[in-house]
Structure 1
Amino acid sequence: MCGRYYRRSDKQAIADRFRVGKLPPGFELPPDYNIAPSTFQPVIRTDRETGERELTMMRWGLVSAKIANPDSFKIFSTTNARSESILQKSIWRGPFTHTRCLVPLDGFYEWLQRPSLPQPPPIEPGEHGLFGNIEPVPKKAVKPKAGSRPVFRFEMPDGAPYALAGLFSEWRPRKGSAHPPLDTFSIVTTEANELTDPIHNRMPVILHPRDYDRWLNDYDESRQPIDLLRPYESDGMTMTPANRLVGNVRNNGPDMLNSA
């Protein structure tokens, strides 16, 4: 699954990385180190009029356009879309066919869900390998609160922003409704790769830059991009212990990226 992620890159870094067209006047995008469902976040889609990539804000947790009242919809059931059932369930099939987007980020968090499996060995200072550079846990680290679990962050080896496969929906009010229009998105997930599997059996779908155009623009139903919904290569990612305080959405800031 993917229930939290972070973004430290500013709007210009994202625009440059993903070849976004002109940014809207006054568009602001402060860093966010603890992004949770139900918050408004930037996604990248294709502008229907110009054909350029545009950066726009949407709420995380997809709401079907067919819903009468979005306020009564349980969005925590639609923050993630399982790739295995994306063509079987109507709430995903329509967006997958017609409204796909990129979700820009610098990394995502995952909590240890599989303690029964062999865990990664301690990484010594300066050691490299499948898990990348991981700082050793201080010997006199503060003990976490009872019941808290280790949390890890996953990003690219160069620390650059990357993109997850996203689906979006445009909800529009019915006649007589006072509710404003609402655009929402979901993150597609798949089975874990070798790096994430010791922590969790699911991971978000990470797209290669070479596949961005196909994901955003190819709506040929005879060749839908179902083949892109696969685990990302383990050796193309790094895993680092993160701050357990990220479990509380009120906690934010760069210190969420460091183990504590």
Structure 2
Amino acid sequence: MCGRVIVDYDENMDVASGTELSAWMQQRPEGYEATWNLKPTQDLPIALTDHKTGERQLRYAYWSLVPIWSKELKTKFPTFNARSETVTEKASFKNPVKGRRCVIPVSGFYEWTGPKGKRTPHAIFGPAPVIPMAGLYSWWHEPGAGDDEGWHLTATILTRASAGVMADLHDRMPVFMSDELLHDWLDPKTEGDRLLVDAVSEAAVPISGQLREWPVAPLRGDGPELIEPA
């Protein structure tokens, strides 16, 4: 489960230096604003490779993948997360798996523990300033709009069974993207299949053991104070 994320990129964009992701993160995405409480259906930064030009892009997408056949942007069922175990079978996700894969570079995220009504949020961060998460994207077109207008880029974050630090917080965690597999994942010429998804999912386990977390106050509003230990 991943339903709230933090996006606070370094001013000089050296957050991913020395990694495969650095090629995509040469600058902040257009319209960038730092946020410490980004929710599904808001705009989420994603890294992708353009199908036609091969250009590496870092841009914003609507956080909830909308399949091309949907008649409206809002889906009936939540699609801000996609289970890695079934993503190659589900109608909404199986086509994006083949060649519309992306990485969501966040600074951190939240998970909740405790009984209903008294749940405690935990801020979670990785060993580096950016945590790359495996994702999928889709272009949704407004019915009735012209060919050159009404297009919306939408995306979802893959999840898997929890491991490492996440095991004590929730039974699901994001699929953290390993540097070794990032190039293949972002290459649209690499056809996505069950083997690729499983490899990316398994590579997330060692990363989960390097996470840092601490409880924070209930999330209200938006600002850096949200990640201060409670």
TM class by shorter chain equals 0.7 to 0.9
Q: TM-score, normalised by structure 1?
A: 0.76
2-structure distance, mates of 1:85, 1:191: 12
Match of 1:161 in 2: 130
2-structure distance, mates of 1:21, 1:9: 10
Residue number among 190, 200, 214 corresponding to 2:170 in the alignment: 200
Give 4+ residue runs of structure 1 displaced > 6 Å after superposition.
Answer: none
Match of 2:42 in 1: 39
Match of 2:104 in 1: 103
Question: Quick one: which amino acid aligns to residue 238 of structure 1?
Answer: R
1-structure distance, mates of 2:11, 2:96: 26
**Equivalences, count:** 221
2-structure distance, mates of 1:22, 1:195: 30
Higher deviation after alignment, 225-234 or 101-110: 225-234
2-structure distance, mates of 1:21, 1:147: 39
| Structure with more strand by fraction | 2
Structure showing greater Rg: 1
Would the aligned equivalents of 2:15 and 2:129 in 1 still touch at CA under 8 Å? no
Match of 1:53 in 2: 56
Aligned residues: CA RMSD:
2.7
2-structure distance, mates of 1:238, 1:106: 12
Same amino acid, percent of matched pairs: 27
Label 1:154 to 1:21 Cα distance change in 2 as closer, same or farther (>3 A). closer
Partner-residue secondary structure (3-state), 1:195: helix
2-structure distance, mates of 1:150, 1:69: 34
The structural deviation recorded for 1:94 is 0.7
- Is there any run of 5+ residues in structure 1 with no aligned partner, and where? 116-145
2-structure distance, mates of 1:259, 1:183: 35
Residue number among 188, 191, 208 corresponding to 1:220 in the alignment: 191
- Is there any run of 5+ residues in structure 2 with no aligned partner, and where? none
Label 1:15 to 1:64 Cα distance change in 2 as closer, same or farther (>3 A). farther
Q: TM-score, normalised by structure 2?
A: 0.85
Residue number among 180, 204, 208 corresponding to 1:210 in the alignment: 180
2-structure distance, mates of 1:6, 1:258: 13
Match of 1:186 in 2: 156
Question: Quick one: which amino acid aligns to residue 200 of structure 2?
Answer: L
The structural deviation recorded for 1:23 is 5.1
5 Å-filtered alignment, 1:94-133, equals 94-112=95-113
